[in-house]
């Protein structure tokens, strides 16, 4: 029996070179900087107060993303309406285009180029939101943190709650200025991706036997997709992508972290109950994944709100894993896993 893996492009693996050897070490990767452990959820009333006080150096950013099968486009929806003064961040284009999977975390030069174009500095107060409430916003929050931004918040409820409160919106591509900006400092755009927080296909193959065999959970792979997609009940929209989920993963749909209104985030107490309800010990090692790496960031955001930073992201997600033939894990030996992993190098 041989474990066959389609060799992805070299750039797929280079994106997380520091993480590709994670499983060789006895410990776990170091968590993100401690600033990620603050509660980065911002209420609308807080943002309004800051804007009314003419607080300097605020960047309000719209990151609209829509679920699979939804024909709407982020840029088009932004032009139709957005919170007054907000900029548009295109999560579908600020990506690593050398990798054949959607919405992959971009290389440093791509992220920095876009940050300069939008004048998003590391030292600004950056407030993210989206058109669903908690979909694209957590992804942008995560990317900014991953690249080293110091003060990033996620607007609770996003555009839906903002509109429900009858706050000001505008259309078009020339947002009104909402905050005075200081001159750029020397480190304004010194963004650098923390690759130690990203794991690749090689790492995922290496941990699946542990996920399947362990009786006492010390490691979790959490999938944020909706249940129908996780269980393979819905066909995947991408050609050549099979339905299903990574063996040993646990399904915690991103919507589980939302209140009944579908756009605001649950309280800390209820977030804890979400993890407990799936028998996940959130103090243990956690890898978040999903379909394309976007909704996985909702799991990461929820963990960070609990003061937890021992998380990683499998950004290739099901788009990458599901494009590979599924091994028969019951017949795969450790030696074959090591051999297969070496073929992904």
Task: For residues 275 and 299, give the distance between their C-alpha atoms in angstroms, rounded to a whole number.
Answer: 10
CA–CA gap between residue 290 and residue 150 (Å, rounded): 26
Q: What is the mean pLDDT of the chain?
A: 87
- State the first-to-last Cα distance of the chain, in angstroms, to the nearest integer: 21
Identify the active-site residue in 128, 263, 290, 297.
290
- Of 317, 324, 312, the C-alpha closest to 199 is 312
CB 303 within 8 A of CB 285: no
The pLDDT assigned to 217 comes to 82
290 is catalytic: yes
- Could you give the C-alpha distances from 145 to 21, 175, 194, 222, 336, in angstroms and in order? 23, 24, 9, 20, 37
Residue range 274-327, pLDDT digits in tens: 999 999 998 899 999 999 999 999 999 999 999 999 999 999 999 999 999 988
The larger pLDDT score, comparing residue 160 to residue 344, is at 160
**Cα–Cα distance, 277 to 195 (Å, whole number):** 31
Residues 79-116 pLDDT 10s:
999 999 999 999 999 999 999 999 999 999 999 999 99
| pLDDT tens string 154-178 | 999 999 999 999 999 999 998 888 8
Contact partners, residue 68, CB within 8 Å, separation at least 6:
229, 236, 237, 291
Q: What are the beta bridge partners of residue 116?
A: none
CB atoms within 10 A of CB 71: 6
- % of the chain beyond a pLDDT of 70: 84
Alpha helical stretches, state H, the chain = 10-14, 44-52, 74-80, 108-118, 136-146, 158-164, 201-213, 227-230, 268-277, 296-305, 317-321, 334-343
Mean pLDDT value of segment 233-255? 93
- Torsion angles phi and psi, residue 270, rounded to 5: -75, -25
User: How many residues appear in the chain?
Assistant: 345
* Angstrom distance (rounded) from CA 318 to CA 246: 7
Q: Hey, how many other C-beta atoms are within 10 angstroms of the C-beta on 1?
A: 9
Copy the structure tokens of residue 68. 């699979």
Alpha carbon dihedral 111, 112, 117, 122, in 10-degree steps, equals 110
């Amino acid at each position: 029996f041989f474990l066959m893996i389609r060799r992805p492009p070299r750039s797929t693996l280079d994106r997380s070179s520091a993480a590709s050897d994670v499983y060789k070490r006895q410990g776990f990767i170091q968590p993100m900087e401690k600033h990620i452990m603050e509660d980065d959820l911002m209420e609308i009333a807080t943002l309004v107060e800051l804007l009314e006080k003419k607080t300097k150096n605020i960047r309000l950013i719209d990151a609209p993303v829509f679920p699979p099968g939804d024909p709407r486009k982020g840029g088009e929806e932004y032009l139709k309406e957005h919170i007054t003064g907000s900029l548009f961040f295109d999560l579908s284009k600020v990506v690593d285009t050398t990798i054949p999977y959607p919405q992959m975390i971009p290389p440093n030069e791509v992220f920095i180029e876009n940050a300069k174009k939008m004048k998003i500095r590391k030292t600004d107060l950056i407030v993210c939101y989206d058109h669903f409430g908690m979909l694209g916003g957590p992804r942008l929050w995560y990317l900014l943190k991953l690249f080293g931004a110091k003060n990033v918040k996620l607007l609770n409820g996003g555009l839906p709650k903002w509109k429900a409160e009858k706050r000001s919106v505008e259309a078009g591509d020339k947002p009104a200025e909402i905050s005075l900006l200081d001159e750029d400092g020397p480190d304004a755009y010194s963004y650098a991706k923390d690759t130690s927080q990203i794991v690749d296909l090689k790492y995922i193959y290496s941990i699946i036997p542990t996920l399947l065999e362990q009786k006492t959970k010390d490691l979790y792979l959490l999938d944020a997709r909706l249940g129908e997609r996780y269980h393979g009940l819905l066909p995947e929209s991408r050609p050549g992508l099979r339905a299903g989920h990574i063996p040993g993963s646990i399904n915690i749909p991103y919507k589980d972290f939302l209140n009944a209104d579908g756009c605001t985030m649950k309280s800390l107490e209820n977030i804890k109950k979400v993890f407990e309800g799936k028998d996940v010990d959130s103090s243990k090692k956690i890898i978040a994944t999903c379909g394309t790496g976007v909704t996985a960031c909702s799991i990461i955001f929820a963990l960070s709100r609990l003061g937890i930073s021992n998380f990683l992201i499998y950004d290739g997600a099901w788009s990458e894993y599901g494009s590979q033939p599924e091994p028969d894990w019951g017949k795969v030996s450790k030696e074959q896993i090591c051999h297969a992993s070496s073929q992904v190098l």
